[in-house]
Amino acid sequence: MESIDIRRLENISGLRLLRSICRLGTLSAAAEEQKLSISAASHQLAVMKDFFKDELFQRSGRGLIPNSRMGDLLPRIIQVLDGLDALNEDESFDPGKVKRQMRILCYGVGYFTFILPILSELFAEAPGLHLSINFYPKDGKAVEFFKNGFADFGLNPIPPTVQGIHIHPLTTLKYVLLLSSTHPIYRRWKESHRFQLNWLLPYTQFIPSSSKIGYYRPWLQLAEQGMRTIESPFFHTNSFYIEGSNAVGWIPEPSGRYLEANSGGRLGVISLPGEKKGEFVPKLFWHERLENDPLHQWVRSKIISHASSMDLSKPLL
């Protein structure tokens, strides 16, 4: 491969355009993100192709796909741009001067529990901060996203355990049972504060996952005993059906408490005793290249501080 003298590259905005094209997949979307006209973006892309002496992308029906050369360059381009962004943040970091986007991969409950409650605080102190929230991928692509700079944070109970990923456990969460306040089992529990799993067998249960990895899942025991089961991770949407039926739903406690408090008395929550409560620990994780980034340190300190001070017996929002 021909060597490249990076000292001849003065067009930093062209590097930003390449990063945007890789992430968004089209020149038009990348131009919009970089606040460029299509003609200006097209010219910058041509300059980058000439500089790197490669086409960099392949055209497809969906837009532009990075070729192998662009794939090799992307991590280094991201490292350069991250370094330049860090230079703009002086040694006495001031979140009020920040003008950057943080990209977070998470799942619904993680977003609801650890991100939404601190949004007002984040934006009050850092009005120039922008967030991009996307689903955490299940196919092992998360590590690639972190390495290539497509994500700054991950939030999931089961993080990737590979070299270069830093992991911080947050707080222990547990599953509760969400059901209609008119449900026979809820009424029985309110009167006696007694509960047995096998009482649920005649009914339908909404479960978040059929996976057996990580922690005790009481709903799997019920499914094995023949209980009608619907696997659905859409906790809040499931509540609309649960409210008007005798179905029940397994839901992490923060979401359950919120739905109970905002249902006008139509929903109730049963907290299970002992091992049946299905405890798990969400983790916050990031790539080592961001360990000392001032903005990253500030945002993750906000998430970790919130997680350590939550009162899970009350609604978060």
Fold (CATH) for 173-280: D-Maltodextrin-Binding Protein; domain 2 (3.40.190)
What pLDDT score does 217 carry? 87
The enclosing H or E element of 151 equals none
Least confident stretch, 173-182, 204-213, 236-245: 204-213
* Residues 85-106: tens digit of each pLDDT: 766 655 678 899 888 889 999 9
Closest alpha carbon to 177 in 75, 264, 229, 253: 253
Query: Strand 267-271 relative to strand 283-287: parallel, antiparallel, unpaired?
Result: unpaired
- CATH number for the domain running over 6-87: 1.10.10.10
CB 173 within 8 A of CB 110: no
What is the dihedral sign for C-alpha 255, 232, 170, 296?
negative
Task: Inform me whether the pLDDT recorded for 134 exceeds 60.
Answer: yes
Q: Where are the domains of the chain?
A: 6-87, 95-171+281-309, 173-280
Residue 184 three-state SS: helix
In sequence order, what are the beta bridge partners of 102?
Answer: 131
Residue 63 three-state SS: strand
Task: Inform me whether the pLDDT recorded for 4 exceeds 70.
Answer: no
Phi, psi of 269 (to 5 degrees): -125, 135
pTM of the model: 0.73
Query: Strand 283-287 relative to strand 165-169: parallel, antiparallel, unpaired?
Result: antiparallel
One fold for 95-171+281-309 and 173-280: yes
Q: Which single residue is written with the structure tokens 């949004």?
A: 119
Give the CATH H-level superfamily of domain 95-171+281-309. Periplasmic binding protein-like II (3.40.190.10)
What pLDDT score does 1 carry? 45
CA distance 114 to 127: 19
What pLDDT score does 86 carry? 65
In sequence order, what are the beta bridge partners of 103?
Answer: 132
